[in-house]
Amino acid sequence: MEAKKIIGLGSPLLDIQAEVPAEFLEKYGLTLNNTYFAEEKHLPLYEELINIPTHSHVPGGSALNTVRLSRWMAQAGQDQVKFIGCVGKKDKFANMLIEVTNSDGVTTLFDEQDQPTGKCGVLLCNKDRCLVPLIGAAAHLSEAYVDQHIEDIKTATVLFSEVYFLYPRAELTKKIYQIASESGVNTCLTLSSVNAVSDRFNEILAVLPYVDYLFGNEDEVEQFAKNLKFEGDLPSVMQQIAGYEKHGQRERVVVCTQGKKPTLIAKKTEVITVEVQLVDVSKIVDTNSAGDSFCGGFIAELLNGPDLVKCAKAGNYSASQTIQHEGSTIPKYAPEKTW
């Protein structure tokens, strides 16, 4: 029997992290605990970062983080987990991103365009951070390239993407989800952030009829429900979102994480509560990738069938491991299946 496959779709970025002195931040007009979308004056920053001997670089972007972690959780083999995105043409940052993504066991299906490869500078100073993302080529995935790989989409078990990708490529994303839905693929979408939910509300509604699994934290789900003018408590509005217009063979499932509070899973007619196994506070290093990691564990377990409790437990396990490491680092050990 052919191995079940996961395919991701989104904005691949190279995260470049380094400790820098305060003078470095001042030179580029940056302050800690802020995010600055890169302008012309910031462009030399990335080259400087990779020339710092102690820097590290890992694949980034929400959907790519999820897909990398799903590969780890599923312990999937070669070409079982793939990611469609776009990078710069003849670009050394593209080569770095492809190399580190492949080393995590994910096959890169990357279009190339005459734009700089997407990247994010993660500047660390006195235990605080400043982020400088450059979306670049990640926003320029071509429809022609997707068409070349449409069989990879049609034959996948799971498709996963992010609302962030609706910013540059909303129509293309809708087309991909429609094709995947008609092909019986388990289609998954994460709401990304509260701002994204509002900024791309109409684009989300255009894709939503083709989405089988919708993920978000409580703030994102409540904002989405508010935009839809749904009323009631969190479980109630989740059921209403689950019951929103739906095409394809499956009922929609809405999955809501709440940090250390129970995970909620809603269908039109029921809500399931799954307790979270807490991690000792002293072991928590970085919670920034917890949501991406939860989705990775959930979709990895979804390969084994739609047992929603098992999927949520796998998601919570994946998140519990990731938060004990910096960023979206893939653990060096195999996951210990406890569900």
The encoded tokens of residue 100 equal 């580190």
By C-alpha distance, which of 263, 257, 269 is closest to 309?
263
Question: Of the listed 104, 152, 292, 307, which one is catalytic?
Answer: 292
CB 8 within 8 A of CB 66: yes
Report the b/e string of 115-131 with b at 16+ CB within 10 A: bbbbbbbbbebeeebbb
Residue 292 known to be catalytic? yes
Task: Output DSSP code: residue 332.
Answer: S
Please tell me the number of Cα atoms within 13 Å of 33 on its side-chain side. 3
Nearest to 293 by CA among 266, 274, 314, 272: 314
Concatenated DSSP letters for 82-127?
A: EEEEEEETT-HHHHHHHHHHHHTTPEEEEEEESSPPPEEEEEEETT
Tell me which residues are annotated as active site: 292
